[in-house]
Amino acid sequence: MRTSIATVCLSGTLEEKMHAAAAAGFDGIEVFEQDLVVSPSSPEEIRELAAQLGLSLDLYQPFRDADAVGPELFAANLRRAEAKFQLMNRLGTDTMLVCSNVGTAEIDDDEVVAGQLRELGELAARYGVRLAYEALAWGRFVDDFEHAQRIVDLADHPSVGTCLDSFHILSRAWDPAPIEGIAAEKIFFVQLADAPLLSMDVLSWSRHHRVFPGEGDFDMVGFMTHLVRAGYDGPVSLEIFNDAFRQADVNRTAVDGLRSLRWLEDQTRRALDGEPVRDTLGLQALPAVEEPAGYDFVEIRTGRLGETTRLLHQLGFALGGHHQSKENVQLWVQGPVRIVVNDDVPDGSPTEIAALGFEVADPDAAIDRATRLAALPVPRSQGPGEQVLRGVFAPDGTEVFFCGRPADGVPAWLGEFGADEESHDAALVTGVDHINMAQPWQHYDEAVLFYTSVLALAAQPSQDVPGPSGLVRSQVMRSASGAVRMPLNVAPAAAEQGSFVGAAYPEHVALYCTDVFAAARRARRRGLDFLPVPQNYYEDLDARFDLDDEFVASLQELNLLYDRDADGEFLHFYTGTLGTVFFEVVERRGGYAGFGAPNAPVRLAAQYRRSQAEHRARTEA
Ligand SMILES: O=C(O)c1ccc(O)c(O)c1
Ligand SMILES: [Mg+2]
C-alpha cells in the first residue's frame, strides 16, 4: 500500500516534516499550502529535497471556494487556480485538492458547479494537473461524497475526479458502501482520518479532534474494504488536524502515523480474507498476534528498596528469590502474581512501574509484529542458560515484554530466581485485576494505537474523572477475554493549584482477591499506610445505596470503598503512593465489570491532599 501523510499532521517546518515523514517510512506527502507559503525554500528546492528523501509529492492542497459562485468570482478563481497550477509544475505535483465551497457559494445547481469544475479541469489539463474534488462535511451546498461524485460525473472531464476523506464521510454518518460503485479511475485521492465520537459541530470536530486510524471510534477497516472493492490503487494518505499532534515531537507523530497505516493495512487484509476481490492496494498482512492471556510479571524499579518490599509484604507478597546473575533484582510472589523488584538505579530514585510482561501464545510472532509496527526493541542481556525475554518500549517508556505461556503455568524464568515450587493455597491475592498507566497528554492517542496494534487490546469508551487539579481522562484498554485490562489515564497538565507537586501522576497495580476484608486486615496488621477515606464518603455511600450500618462501619474501619451496579458489587482499598506507584486491592462480587469509577474522585482528592502536605513538609524543611 502506498502511504502518504499531509504536512498539516506534523509539527515544525516543512523541511522538518519532510525529513520526519521520510524517516518514518512514508512513500509520499501532501503539501499543505500554508506550510509552503511560510517556508524560505523555493518550490524547486522542496522538489529537490523530496527527491533526495525519496518522497513523492502526492497532492497540493487546499484550493478553497472555487465552485458554485457567480461569473465574476469564478473568473477570479480561475486566475487564482492558474497561479497554483504553475506553482505545482515547479513543485512537480500533479494533483490538487479542491474543497467544496463553504464560504462564497451562492448557486445551488449541480449543472453549474459541474460546468465550473469542467472549466477548471480544462485549465488544469494544460498544466498536466488533476483536480480531486472533496465534499467537506460542512460544505454550503455539497457536503456528501455521493453528491460530489454526481457532480464529478456530470463534469465528465478526465482531469476532474474525487477525493474521498473518511472524516467527512464518517463524521456525518454517510453510508460509505456506495464508494464501491465509484469508477476506480475517478477516485483521484484518498485521505484517512479517524476521530473519537463527540457531539459538537463538525467543523470544530474536524479541525481539532481528528486522530490516526485506530485511535478513534470510526470503522476505518470497513472504510478501507470499500476502497479495495472499488479498485482504488492510489496512495492512502493521512490527513489529521489535531491540536496535540501540532505540539508533539514531529518524528514520534510520523512514526505513530505510519504505524496506524501498517495496522490498518493488516486489518483490512484480514477483513477481506476469502473474498474474491482484487487487492489493488497491495495490502501487507502483519504476523498475527493473539490477545494476551494475562500478565506474566510486573517489574517495579526503585531506588527505595526497603519501603517497596515492605509494602509488598504488607499486601501479602513473599520473597520468591534473588536473581542468580543480576545482583539488584528480586522476585516477590503471591499466588500467580509475580512482581520483579529491580533496584539497579541510584539510591533514592523514585519507585515506578518499569515493565509489564504479557503472556502471549507466540512471543516470536509478537516481537516480529511489534517491530514491523515500528516499536523500539528493549535492549536486554542474559547470562548463559538464562531465558531470552524480548520486548519493546510503549510510548510512555514502559517496557512491554512478550512472554510465552508455559504448559504447566510456571514460567521458565522463575528458575533464575531459585523460586521454589510452593503451594499458594493460602494466597488471598489471586491475580492482577488491572494495571492503570498514566500517559503524557500529547502521546495519549499514540498509546491507544500502540496497545491496539501491538497487543490486540481494544479501547473502551473514555471517561473523565474529576480531581482537585483538573479532569483526568481515563480509557480502558482490554483484551476480549478481560484477562488483561489497562486503564490509560491522562492527568491534567501542570495544574495551577499544586497537583501532585514534584511527582509525576501516579500509576497503579490493582490486585484481585476473593476476600478484601481479610486482605485489608492483614495489611493493617502489617502496618500498611492506607489511603484514607473521609467520613463524608461513607455518609454519601449510605445515602446512595441504603446499606446496612454495620456493613458501612466495617468498610470505614478499613478504608474500603464500595460500588454497585446491576451486575454486582465492587470493594477495594488503596495504598499510599511510593514514588509514582501505588497499589489497589479489589474484590468483585457477581458480574461487576467496572473499576469503581464513582470512587476515583475520592482517591484523587485524598492523593492530592497528601501530595500537598508532603510538598509543604519538603519546602518547610
Ligand atoms: O478543514 C478544512 O478546511 C479542510 C481542508 C482540506 C481538507 O482536505 C479537509 O479535509 C479539510
Ligand atoms: Mg480532507
- Cα 62 to middle of ligand 1, angstroms: 7
Please count the CA atoms within 13 angstroms of the CA of 171 that sit on its side-chain side: 29
Q: Are 568 and 591 in contact (CB under 8 A)?
A: yes
Nearest to 56 by CA among 1, 94, 9, 90: 94
Lookup result for grid cell 467537506: 136
124: cell is: 488544469
How far does residue 237's CA lie from ligand 2's centre (Å)?
Answer: 9
Q: Is 549 helix (H, G, I), strand (E, B) or coil?
A: helix
Q: Which ligand is nearest to the CA of 165?
A: 2
For residue 241, give the C-alpha cell.
488536524
Answer for the pair 586, 513: CB distance below 8 angstroms, yes or no. Answer: yes
Residue 410 has which C-alpha cell? 510456571
ipTM over 0.95: yes
- If residue 47 lies in a helix (H) or strand (E), which one and from where to where? helix 43-53
Contact 206 CB / ligand 1 (< 6 Å): yes
Q: No. of H helices and E strands in the chain?
A: 17, 24
Alpha carbon of 203 to ligand 2 centroid (Å): 12
Q: How far is the CA of 338 from the centre of ligand 1 (A)?
A: 50
Report whether residue 256 contacts ligand 1, using a CB cutoff of 6 Å.
no
- For 542, half-sphere exposure in the C-beta direction (CA atoms, 13 angstrom radius) is 14
Centroid of ligand 1 to alpha carbon of 148 (angstroms)? 15
> In whole angstroms, what is the distance from residue 247 CA to residue 240 CA?
13
Largest CA-CA distance found in the chain, in angstroms, rounded: 87
Phi and psi torsions of 520, nearest 5°: -70, -40
Alpha helices in 215-273 (DSSP H): 220-230, 250-271
Nearest-atom index, ligand 1, CA of 62: 6
Q: Where on the phi/psi map is residue 368: left (φ > 0), alpha (ψ -120 to 50), or beta?
A: alpha
CB of 62 sitting under 6 A from ligand 1: yes
Degrees, nearest 5: CA angle 245-249-252: 90
The Cα 298–Cα 296 span in angstroms is: 7
Task: Give the burial string for 314-333 (b: 16+ CB within 10 Å, else e).
Answer: bbbbeebbebeebeebbbbb
Report d(CA 534, CA 603) in Å as an integer. Answer: 10
Tell me the CATH number of domain 3-271, given options 3.20.20.150, 3.10.20.30, 3.40.50.720, 3.40.50.300. Answer: 3.20.20.150
Residue 539: all three cell numbers together: 455518609
Long-range Cβ contact pairs of 117-121 (< 8 A, separation 24 or more): 117/66, 117/67, 117/151, 117/152, 117/155, 117/157, 117/160, 118/155, 118/156, 118/157, 118/160, 119/74, 119/78, 120/66, 120/67, 120/77, 120/78, 120/81, 120/160, 121/155, 121/157, 121/158, 121/159, 121/160
Half-sphere exposure of 54 (CA within 13 A, CB side): 10
Task: Yes or no: say if 477 and 451 are a contact pair by the CB < 8 Å rule.
Answer: yes
> Which ranges in 355-443 belong to alpha helices (H)?
363-372
Annotated binding site for Mg(2+): 434, 508, 584
Class of domain 294-617: alpha beta
- Report the pLDDT value the prediction gives residue 104, as an integer from 0 to 100: 97
| Binding residue numbers | 134, 165, 191, 239, 434, 508, 584
User: How far is ligand 2, taken at its centre, from the CA of residue 509, in Å?
Assistant: 42
Domain ranges of the chain: 3-271, 294-617
Retrieve residue 609's grid coordinates.
491532599
Question: What atom of ligand 1 comes closest to residue 203's alpha carbon?
Answer: 1
CB contact at 8 A, 254 and 29: no
- In ligand 1, the atom with minimum distance to the C-alpha of 241 is 1
Q: Which helix (H) or strand (E) holds 3?
A: strand 3-6
Q: Which ligand is nearest to the CA of 100?
A: 1
Ligand 1 lined by 507 (C-beta under 6 Å)? no
CA dihedral (179, 186, 124, 127) positive or negative: positive
For the Cβ of 237 lying below 6 angstroms from any atom of ligand 1, the answer is: no
Residues making up the chain, counted from first to last: 621
CA of 102 to the centre of ligand 2 (A): 14
Nearest CA to 373 among 268, 449, 460?
449
Judged by DSSP in three states, 306 sits in helix
CB of 254 closer than 6 angstroms to any ligand 1 atom: no
Cβ of 134 less than 6 Å from ligand 1: yes
Confidence (pTM): 0.94
DSSP state of 376: P
What amino acid occupies position 400?
V
3-state DSSP assignment of residue 107: coil
| Mutation to probe ligand 1, out of 140, 171, 202, 206 (largest number of atoms < 8 A from CB) | 206
pLDDT at res. 569: 98
Measured in Å, residue 134 CA sits from the centre of ligand 2 at: 7
Contact 562, 541 (CB under 8 A): yes
Distance from residue 165's CA to the centre of ligand 2 (Å): 5
Residue 594 sits at φ, ψ, to 5 deg, of -85, -160
**Atom nearest to 102 CA in ligand 1:** 3
pLDDT at position 528 is: 98
Q: Is the CB of 225 under 6 A from ligand 1?
A: no
Strands 95-99, 130-134: pairing kind: parallel
Which pLDDT value is given to residue 383? 84
Q: Give the residue whose CA is nearest to atom 9 of ligand 1.
A: 136
pLDDT of residue 423: 56
3 state SS of 535 = helix
What pLDDT, on a 0 to 100 scale, did the predictor assign at position 497? 54
| C-alpha cell recorded at residue 129 | 494537473
What is residue 498's predicted lDDT score, i.e. its pLDDT? Answer: 56
| Predicted local confidence at residue 495, as pLDDT | 56
Q: What angle do CA 153, 157, 163 make, to 5 degrees?
A: 60
The residue behind cell 512482581 is: 339
Ligand 1 pocket check for 33: Cβ under 6 Å: no
Report residues of the chain scoring pLDDT below 70.
421-425, 492-504
Determine the residue of 5, 99, 142, 238 to mutate for testing ligand 1's pocket, defined as the one with the most ligand atoms within 8 A of the Cβ atom: 99
User: Binding site for a divalent metal cation: what residues are annotated?
Assistant: 134, 165, 191, 239
Identical fold, 3-271 and 294-617: no
Cβ of 132 less than 6 Å from ligand 1: no
- From 63, 136, 143, 165, mutation site for ligand 1 pocket: most ligand atoms within 8 A of C-beta: 136
CA of 133 to the centre of ligand 2 (A): 10
* Ligand 2 centroid from CA 3, angstroms: 15
Report the distance separating Cα 235 and Cα 166, nearest Å. 14
CB 239 less than 6 A from any atom of ligand 1:
yes
Rg for the chain, CA atoms, rounded: 28
Pairing label, strands 160-165, 390-393: unpaired
Whether 343 lines ligand 1, by a CB cut-off of 6 Å, is no
Is there a contact between 457 and 478 (Cβ–Cβ < 8 Å)?
A: yes
Encoded amino acid at 44, one letter: E
Instruction: Give which of 581, 578, 544 is closest to 564, Cα–Cα.
Output: 544
Helix runs in 166-248, H state only: 166-170, 202-208, 220-230
Task: Tell me the best of 162, 166, 239, 243 to mutate to test the pocket of ligand 1, counting ligand atoms within 8 Å of each CB and taking the most.
Answer: 239
Helices 250-271 and 444-455, packing angle to 10 deg? 40
69 burial (CB, 10 Å; 0-12 / 13-18 / 19+) is buried
Residues 421/409, Cβ–Cβ less than 8 Å: no
Q: Is 171 in the pocket of ligand 1 (CB under 6 A)?
A: no
Residue 142: CB atoms within 10 A of its CB come to: 24
Q: What is the Å distance from ligand 2's center to 62 Cα?
A: 9
